[in-house]
């Protein structure tokens, strides 16, 4: 259908497209959303040459034919990815845990940053802006530092001081914004009218990095997909990346079906849970309270419609967890040797909730997305 709108297939392969109004745009660093206001996607045909993949280094760039960067010389890499998939038992249930806090900047956001910033380098961009609850900003700042690209990172005033220090350590210009996370996004969008916006939620190249989570799980499970994945959702960049990765594997004939996806939100900020329960196509305004899970405190997710569609398509669901459950999961993981940040603990609280009500025997994958050292002050 989307291809039919193009006169040339090649043009579509090299374009941003809008799933809301079917417009296409040439790939350009200044283009971060559609004129209709919606987010954009990128059509790209991934290939999975297993024999070649097996010969490469254990990092996420081993899936080179599935990552939309034209030239190898543009790749900005710190050998990130191919994180361990560790077996952990919860209340008698075997689960497989992707240890994604082991990325260079301490969170899974490096998956998206390595690809998005490689594209910015390929475009010859000299400076970018980004807004974040802290981790995406740290990741973008680190890859900018590697490339010698200047960056301004906007964060809400109350962001964990560890993340603020980390962003500055990479040499980024830090901009603290009074008010909510949404206010931070508004201020950044103004700056993005002049400077390319390396946005983890708007720019689809970021999702073409987070999707490598799916490829790694597929390879680490012996070229098989699990039945279910339990993942956090703030803006949903990991959730959507994983959906996209498994969809690409299915389209390439590598797996039979896309696994079910279970999203986890904080009960204090759960726009997608609300929309999913009510069967809405889009999220609607919510009453939000402050949660310790700062990374998922997103009341207006940019790609809300896309997350809801993906959840429906895979027969998935969205759960919420309380502050108390997050605290208990954080302590439990510490006792198991994993010091994670509260946002990351929210996923584990959701996983435990899912395990309590699951009825069938299934292979379940989840993840530890962020390191505990990023949020010590808040934990104290």
Ligand X SMILES: Cc1ncc(COP(=O)(O)O)c(C=O)c1O
Which residues contact ligand X by CB under 6 A? 107, 133, 135-136, 232-239, 295-296, 298, 341, 343-344, 369-370
Residue 11's binding partner among Zn ion, ligand X, none (Cβ under 5 to 8 angstroms by kind) is none
Nearer to Zn ion, 37 or 222 (CB): 37
Q: Which stretch binds Zn ion (CB under 5 A): 35-43, 200-208, 304-312, 339-347?
A: 35-43
Residue keyed to tokens 């292979």? 363
Q: How far is the CB of 128 from Zn ion (least distance, A)?
A: 23
Cβ partners under 8 Å of residue 81, min gap 6: 58, 59, 60, 61, 103, 110, 111, 114, 212, 216
Q: Name the CA dihedral angle for 282, 288, 290, 296, rounded to a multiple of 10 degrees.
A: -10
Closer CB to ligand X, 38 or 107, in the complex: 107
Q: Which of Zn ion, ligand X, none lies near 38, with the C-beta cut-off 5 to 8 A by kind?
A: Zn ion
* Length of the chain counted residue by residue: 380
Decide if residue 20 touches Zn ion (CB under 5 A).
Answer: yes
Task: Please say which residue, 18 or 217, places its beta carbon nearer to Zn ion.
Answer: 18
Residue 11 or 36 having the CB closest to Zn ion: 36
CB of residue 2 vs ligand X: minimum separation in angstroms?
24
Question: Of the two residues 48 and 288, which places its CB atom closer to ligand X in the complex?
Answer: 288
Residue 235 contact among Zn ion, ligand X, none, beta carbon within 5 to 8 Å by kind: ligand X
Q: How far apart are CA 257 and CA 293, in angstroms?
A: 32
Is 36 near Zn ion (CB under 5 A)? yes
Strand partners, 85: 98
Nearer to ligand X, 104 or 234 (CB): 234
> Which residues, other chains included, contact 80 with Cβ-Cβ below 8 Å and sequence gap of 6+?
59, 60, 103, 104, 110, 111, 114
19 touching Zn ion, by CB under 5 A: no
Among 34, 149, 308, 364, binds Zn ion (CB under 5 A): 34
Of the pair 95, 369, the CB lying nearest ligand X is at: 369
Binding partner selected for residue 135 from ligand X, Zn ion, none, CB under the kind-specific 5 to 8 Å limit: ligand X
| Smallest gap from residue 239 Cβ to ligand X (A) | 6
Question: How many angstroms from the chain centroid is the CA of residue 201?
Answer: 8
Q: Taking CB under 5 A as the rule, does residue 169 contact Zn ion?
A: no
* Greatest Cα pair distance in the chain: 59
To ligand X, the closest distance from the beta carbon of 304 in angstroms equals 11
CB-nearer residue toward ligand X: 74 or 299: 299
Minimum gap (Å) between residue 379 Cβ and Zn ion: 42
Binds 296, which of ligand X, Zn ion, none (CB < 5 to 8 A, cut-off by type)?
ligand X
**Residue 344, contacted partner among ligand X, Zn ion, none, CB below 5-8 A by kind:** ligand X
Smallest gap from residue 2 Cβ to Zn ion (A): 12
For Zn ion, the binding residue among 17, 32, 38, 200 (CB under 5 A) is: 38
Q: How far is the CB of 39 from Zn ion (least distance, A)?
A: 9
> On the CB side of 291, how many CA atoms lie within 13 Å of its CA?
32
Smallest distance, Å, CB 150 to ligand X? 23
Least distance from C-beta 371 to ligand X, angstroms? 8
User: Which residues make up the interface to Zn ion (CB under 5 A)?
Assistant: 18, 20-21, 23, 34, 36, 38
């Amino acid at each position: 259908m989307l291809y039919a709108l193009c006169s040339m297939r090649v043009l579509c392969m090299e374009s941003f497209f809008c799933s809301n109004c079917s417009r296409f745009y040439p790939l350009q660093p200044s283009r971060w959303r559609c004129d209709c206001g919606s987010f954009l996607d990128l059509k790209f045909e991934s290939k999975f040459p297993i024999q070649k993949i097996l010969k490469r280094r254990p990092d996420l760039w081993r899936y080179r034919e599935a990552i939309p960067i034209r030239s190898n010389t543009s790749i900005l890499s710190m050998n990130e990815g191919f994180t361990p998939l560790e077996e952990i038992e919860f209340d008698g249930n075997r689960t497989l845990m992707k240890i994604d806090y082991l990325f260079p900047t301490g969170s899974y956001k490096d998956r998206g940053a390595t690809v998005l910033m490689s594209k910015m380098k390929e475009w010859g961009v000299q400076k970018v802006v980004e807004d974040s609850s802290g981790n995406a900003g740290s990741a973008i700042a680190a890859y900018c530092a590697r490339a010698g690209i200047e960056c301004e990172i906007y964060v809400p005033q109350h962001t964990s001081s560890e993340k603020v220090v980390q962003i500055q350590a990479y040499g980024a210009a830090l901009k603290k914004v009074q008010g909510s996370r949404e206010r931070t996004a508004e201020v950044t969008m103004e700056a993005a009218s002049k400077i390319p916006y390396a946005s983890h939620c708007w720019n689809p190249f970021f999702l073409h990095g987070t999707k490598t989570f799916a490829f790694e799980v597929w390879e680490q499970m012996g070229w098989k997909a699990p039945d279910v994945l339990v993942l956090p959702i703030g803006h949903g960049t990991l959730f959507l990346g994983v959906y996209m990765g498994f969809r690409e594997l299915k389209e390439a004939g590598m797996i039979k079906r896309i696994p079910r996806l279970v999203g986890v939100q904080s009960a204090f900020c759960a726009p997608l849970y609300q929309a999913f329960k009510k069967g809405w196509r889009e999220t609607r305004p919510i009453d939000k309270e402050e949660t310790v899970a700062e990374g998922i405190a997103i009341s207006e997710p940019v790609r809300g419609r896309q997350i809801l569609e993906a959840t429906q398509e895979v027969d998935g669901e969205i759960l919420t967890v309380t502050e108390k459950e997050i605290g208990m999961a954080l302590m439990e993981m510490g006792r198991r040797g994993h010091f994670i940040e509260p946002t990351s603990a929210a996923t584990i609280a959701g996983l435990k909730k899912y395990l309590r009500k699951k009825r069938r025997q299934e292979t379940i994958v989840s993840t530890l997305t962020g390191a505990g050292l990023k949020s010590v002050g808040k934990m104290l």
